[in-house]
Amino acid sequence: MPESVSCEEGFPRKNCSKHSLYIKRRDTNSCLQQKQQQCRLEQSVFSQTKKMTYISILLWLLMKTASANPKFNVALGGFATQIDTYNELGAASNAIDGKRDNVYYHDSCTHTFTTTDPWWRLDLLETYTISSVTVVNRGDCCADRLDGAQVCIGNSLENNGNDNPVVATLLSSRGNTQTLTFTEPVEGRYVNVFLPGTNKYLTLCEVEVYGSKDEVNLALGGEATQGNTYDALGAASNAIDGKRDSVYGHKSCTHTLETTDPWWRVDLRESCMITSITITNRRDCCAQRLDSAQIRIGNSLDNNGNSNPIVATVSHIAGGRSQTFVLPRAVEGRYVNIFLPGMNKILTLCEVEVHGLKQEGKPPAPEDEKGHK
Ligand SMILES: [Ca+2]
Ligand SMILES: [Ca+2]
């Protein structure tokens, strides 16, 4: 128990410790009611300080892997806490031990006391872009206890993180394992499971969080080319100059000749896991020219990369507007092509932003016959 923790007078200091296996509920409630904010804050600080030393190496390894793989369960590198702990089998960390074992007595699930508004919180230690959360409910008893639990994700610790936006509500009728997939990725450092109501137990056998961090515009470090170039204002590199300026005369947009099947390509210099592409269309003229353009991603330079798989097709982007194409799942590739099929076509792009993660440790794509990497 940390010396810094102070609870209500008359109660032993151990009553504030989430590690105290013999904590009495009466004492816990008193602590929470009378020193709630101070007690929880100090618990959090102490727990993180104490644990940080021996988990830091593990975290470094986990986060390094996570940053390279958006499908990694980033919860495994986090730190878990909860409002209180029922007994020695119900530690908050059991929900991030990597095991979906749903039998409480196997020491892999969490368990609070019966209380008002119990909560469990995962601190990912950094802000992540979260695409899905999987929650495993208890299987040997009491599945309906989880009904109505809210999953909250955000960066605030107000109300212990329970005031962050609710992204989903859990129902035991959906099965023992519920995967919440977000159509729009959610950003946050804290993932809470908050169970509103009185006389509630909160038990979680596993919480998995899938997401990524440090996504950058990979195109900025790439090399752009296109089938041909209309004039000195329309260089291929203008689509990766970091500016969405959509007036062609400002020299920040590309422009091909009128031709059959014009194309533009950015070489990311190494294979990446790509999650979204944002395209900015020209404003001062001719927005419809970009209609039906295909976004293709892959590692092949066959047909100048224009035979790589289509991941999205432009319907119509209004003049001067930017549209983000979020891919249902990350796509691996070194080359991103914008291919405009048809005769008498002109391809103009004012900016192409490619978001995703580099794949560390992967071998570079082979050189093509012209020696281009
Ligand atoms: Ca578990
Ligand atoms: Ca530009």
Nearest to 89 by CA among 102, 108, 116: 108
> Closest ligand to 92 CA?
1
Contact 306, 342 (CB under 8 A): no
Neighbours of ion ligand 1 (CB under 5 A): 94, 97, 99, 108, 206
- What's the CA dihedral at 257, 262, 267, 272 to 10 degrees? 150
Check residue 174 and give its pLDDT.
84
**Per-10-residue mean pLDDT, the chain, length 373:** 33 36 38 44 46 43 42 86 97 96 97 97 89 95 96 95 96 91 88 98 97 82 97 98 95 98 97 91 97 98 98 96 86 96 98 83 38 38
Q: Give this prediction's pTM.
A: 0.47
> Closest ligand to 206 CA?
1
CA of 226 to the centre of ligand 2 (A): 14
Check residue 362 and give its pLDDT.
40
C-alpha of 33 from chain center: 35
CB atoms within 10 A of CB 48: 14
CA of 130 to the centre of ligand 2 (A): 29
Instruction: Pull the structure tokens for residue 104.
Output: 């409480």
Check residue 129 and give its pLDDT.
87
CA of 238 to the centre of ligand 2 (A): 5
> Closest ligand to 219 CA?
2
CB atoms within 10 A of CB 273: 22
Check residue 273 and give its pLDDT.
85
CA-to-CA separations, 161 to 110, 194, 199, 249, 253, in angstroms, rounded: 18, 9, 21, 49, 44
CA of 17 to the centre of ligand 1 (A): 21
> Closest ligand to 120 CA?
1
Q: Which residues of 193-206 are buried (b: 16+ CB within 10 A; e: fewer)?
A: bbbeeeebbbbbbb
Give the whole-angstrom CA distance, residue 314 versus residue 330.
18
Look-up of token digits 């960390």: 93
Check residue 7 and give its pLDDT.
33
Give the whole-angstrom CA distance, residue 364 versus residue 343.
35
Instruction: Pull the structure tokens for residue 269.
Output: 């210099």
Check residue 358 and give its pLDDT.
74
Structural domains in the chain plus CATH codes: 71-212 (2.60.120.260), 216-358 (2.60.120.260)
Check residue 71 and give its pLDDT.
58
CA of 178 to the centre of ligand 1 (A): 14
